[in-house]
Amino acid sequence: MELRTFLDRQTLVNELAEHIAAALSASIAAHGRASLVVSGGSTPVPLFERLSNIELSWQKVVITLADERWVEPTSSDSNEALVRRHLLQNRAADAIFVGLKNAAATAEEGEAECEDRLNDIPQPFTVVILGMGNDGHTASLFPCAAQLAHATDMHCGKLCTAVRPQTAPHQRMSLTLPAILSAKEILLHITGADKKAVLEKALADGPSETMPIRFILRQQTVPMLVYWAE
Ligand SMILES: O=C(O)[C@H](O)[C@@H](O)[C@H](O)[C@H](O)COP(=O)(O)O
């Protein structure tokens, strides 16, 4: 894990967007295609807007989600809606988007179709961008969710799993830990003093509190960069 800190959020966004674009371009040059996994929440909005204006062979890039809330794609809580509004615009309008929400009534019932959709995306994922909540959740791997043990089991054999967080609204579909750790590179995008404190807590040794982000921060197999600005 490498921590990169920036003087302000705009500088962070510019640097992070350049880093992502370089990784996607390198994959396109080597394999003719690339895949980008993005997260929801409020933090990535300026990053999405910056990325959408970057010149790249976007038609060779498949974009999907680290997690989705099980709501209609027209809902303001939908991560798909967020991505459509802020990322799949301008130059990035040419990217191929694979959403997770499908017609199934529950996330559990929608799991098999999500698994099929994810399996069709070129892998390993070129870049996975994650966010983090103040409780240490990432993607929809929430502490205390009954499905956490399954979702973080490196032998669960699945790319995604349904999660019912006790502390956040909506059923979710989340990438599993093995799916996230199958990426070529993981980028954690966080801002503000609160999240810096959560990061420090997650990195500290000691009695392990259930902070799912720990599984990602403390692994040694996938290159991981943390981008932080006040
Ligand atoms: O859809 C989601 O809820 C996310 O993917 C989630 O894991 C998010 O990244 C964090 O909750 C941080 O969200 P903020 O950026 O809003 O703090």
Q: What's the confidence (pLDDT) of residue 205? A: 79
Determine which helix (DSSP H) or strand (DSSP E) holds 51, and give its type and residue range: helix 45-52
What domains lie within the chain, and their CATH numbers?
2-229 (3.40.50.1360)
Residues composing the chain: 230
The pick from 37, 68, 132 for probing ligand 1's pocket by mutation, whose C-beta has the most ligand atoms within 8 angstroms, reads 132
Residue 206: the pLDDT is 72
Answer whether 171's CB lies under 8 Å from 164's CB.
yes
User: Is the CB of residue 46 below 6 angstroms from any atom belonging to ligand 1?
Assistant: no
> How far, in Å, is the centroid of ligand 1 from the Cα of 109?
23
- Six-digit token pair at 28? 């396109």
Mark the ranges of the chain whose per-residue pLDDT is less than 70.
207-209
Q: Give the pLDDT of residue 208.
A: 64
Ligand 1 atom 7, closest CA: 139
Per-residue pLDDT at 41: 96
d(CA 158, CA 147): 13
- Nearest ligand 1 atom to the CA of 190 is 15
The bridge status of strand 160-163 relative to strand 172-175 is: antiparallel
Q: What is the ipTM of this complex?
A: 0.97
In the numeric block, which tokens belong to residue 20?
A: 């992502």
192 lines ligand 1 (CB under 6 A): no
Residue whose pair of structure tokens reads 């970057």 in the numeric block: 54
Residue pLDDT, tens place only, 168-224: 999 999 999 999 999 999 999 999 999 999 999 999 977 666 899 999 999 999 999
Return the pLDDT at 210: 86
According to the model, what pLDDT value does residue 207 have? 64
